[in-house]
Amino acid sequence: MSSYGLGFALDVHVSGNHAYLAYGSSGLEILNISNPSSPFLESTYENAYGVYVSGNYAYVAGSRSGLRVINVSDPSTPTLEGLYDTPGNAQDVHVVGDYVYVADGTTGLQVVKKNGPVTNVSIVSPTIITATFPAGLTRGPYHVLVTNPGGQSEEAYLYNGYYVQSTVPVDYYCDGDGDTYMNSVIDGTCTGLGCEPPGCTSTTGSDCNDSDAAINPGTYWYQDYDEDGFGNSSISQQQCDDPSGAITYVLDSNDYDDSDFSVGAPVQISGAAIPYYSSLQSAYDAASDGDTIQVIAVTFNEDLIIDRDISATLECGYDGSFATNAGITTLNGNMTISEGILNLENFLME
């Protein structure tokens, strides 16, 4: 029987010819016990409230300083090889396989995965370190051991807000046309944590045309069977890419007769041909005071409500290309006038 030490020992782990004792704020003591009747102190290290030794490493629960990984391949000169600052106060530690289990005070159990070393560490600015990550690690804030850079202590660097950035370039995708869909092709490439420009992401987008806000995966394309540039509102496909093949698709949906090339949209506001309208009501609702609404000589099956404080003109009877208006436009429905003025030309109600 023998004993050693006069402090307040909290934990112990024996590995080979050495006993590792955790003495709280007094630190870790590594005792040589090759002769158990006369152990002697071989080295010490900082804060240690719990300790577990696996292979060449002592895993030390350092209370507020978190989990430390100490290389003890030479027990006379333990060296810090890594640390993980747990959210609570690390009290004890146990290692199984690739996982380190930490009893972390008020935050309970913390499980930390062991990874390979971070290599090629390079300080590029007062707040940024670049490094090569071991396989399986993604970008993010990590604690990395920097061996005494600039003569300062390792801890000073580790706790001064350094972030580790992968040196692997990241492709990013932006929303160039403001339609809320990110570009489906790469906008640029950058390196580092959060290096993407504001509003861009590092994940592929779905906008097949990022310079036109009208085209995105929510776009409706309308069949234009007669290829007059006006689409059939009742035949559409919702997708980003133009579905035109043997049959043409367009963004317009105002063709009055999609089997007649000479007849396109039936209604337009003079001087503002785009957008076109497919009904008298939709054109009237969009008109301003004094506007002339031009209408081709077809029959509209709708009710028309005139209730705005404007004066407008329905200039009816146009041919399909709005060149001349010698025909008659027919309204097969009711018209109600409650406010404003509507002038009518070449107009018939049935």
Count residues binding Ca ion (CB under 5 A): 17
Q: Among residues 234, 213, 216, 217, which one has the least CA distance to residue 225?
A: 234
Please name the residues in contact with 153: beta carbons below 8 A apart, sequence gap of 6 or more: none
Round to whole Å and give the CA distance between 57 and 117: 13
Rule CB under 5 A: choose which of 46, 177, 242, 302 binds Ca ion.
177
Q: What is the DSSP string of 114-172?
A: --PPPEEEEEEETTEEEEEPPTT--SS-------SGGG--HHHHHTTT-EEEE-S-EEE
- 175 lies in the binding site for Ca ion (CB under 5 A): yes
Rule CB under 5 A: choose which of 11, 42, 224, 315 binds Ca ion.
224
CB atoms near residue 215 (< 10 Å): 21
Q: Which range of residues in 21-29, 99-107, 130-138, 249-257 is near Ca ion by CB under 5 A?
A: 249-257
Q: Please report, for residues 129, 130, 131, 163, 279, the alpha-carbon distance to residue 124 in angstroms, rounded to integers and kept in the order given.
A: 6, 7, 10, 11, 64
With respect to Ca ion, which residue has the nearer C-beta, 155 or 260?
Answer: 260
Round to whole Å and give the CA distance between 5 and 25: 15
- Please, are residues 296 and 266 in contact by the beta-carbon 8 Å criterion? yes
Q: Which range of residues in 41-49, 76-84, 87-95, 215-223 is near Ca ion by CB under 5 A?
A: 215-223
- 187 lies in the binding site for Ca ion (CB under 5 A): no
* β-sheet bridge partners, residue 60: 51, 68
With respect to Ca ion, which residue has the nearer C-beta, 129 or 208?
Answer: 208
- 181 lies in the binding site for Ca ion (CB under 5 A): yes
Convert residues 227-246 into a mask of x (bound to Ca ion by CB under 5 A) and - (unbound): -x-x----------------
As measured in angstroms, the least distance from the Cβ of 174 to Ca ion is 8
Helix (H) or strand (E) holding 273: strand 272-277
Rule CB under 5 A: choose which of 29, 196, 226, 315 binds Ca ion.
226
Round to whole Å and give the CA distance between 308 and 290: 12
With respect to Ca ion, which residue has the nearer C-beta, 104 or 255?
Answer: 255
As measured in angstroms, the least distance from the Cβ of 262 to Ca ion is 7
- What values do phi and psi take at 245, rounded to 5? -145, -120
As measured in angstroms, the least distance from the Cβ of 195 to Ca ion is 21
Rule CB under 5 A: choose which of 42, 104, 187, 210 binds Ca ion.
210
Residues 251-270 contacting Ca ion, CB under 5 A: 255, 258, 260, 263
With respect to Ca ion, which residue has the nearer C-beta, 23 or 181?
Answer: 181
With respect to Ca ion, which residue has the nearer C-beta, 130 or 223?
Answer: 223
Burial label for 308, CB within 10 Å (0-12, 13-18, 19+), is middle
Rule CB under 5 A: choose which of 63, 91, 110, 216 binds Ca ion.
216
- Please, are residues 83 and 66 in contact by the beta-carbon 8 Å criterion? yes
With respect to Ca ion, which residue has the nearer C-beta, 84 or 318?
Answer: 318
Site of interaction with Ca ion (CB under 5 A): 175, 177, 179, 181, 207, 209-210, 215-216, 224, 226, 228, 230, 255, 258, 260, 263
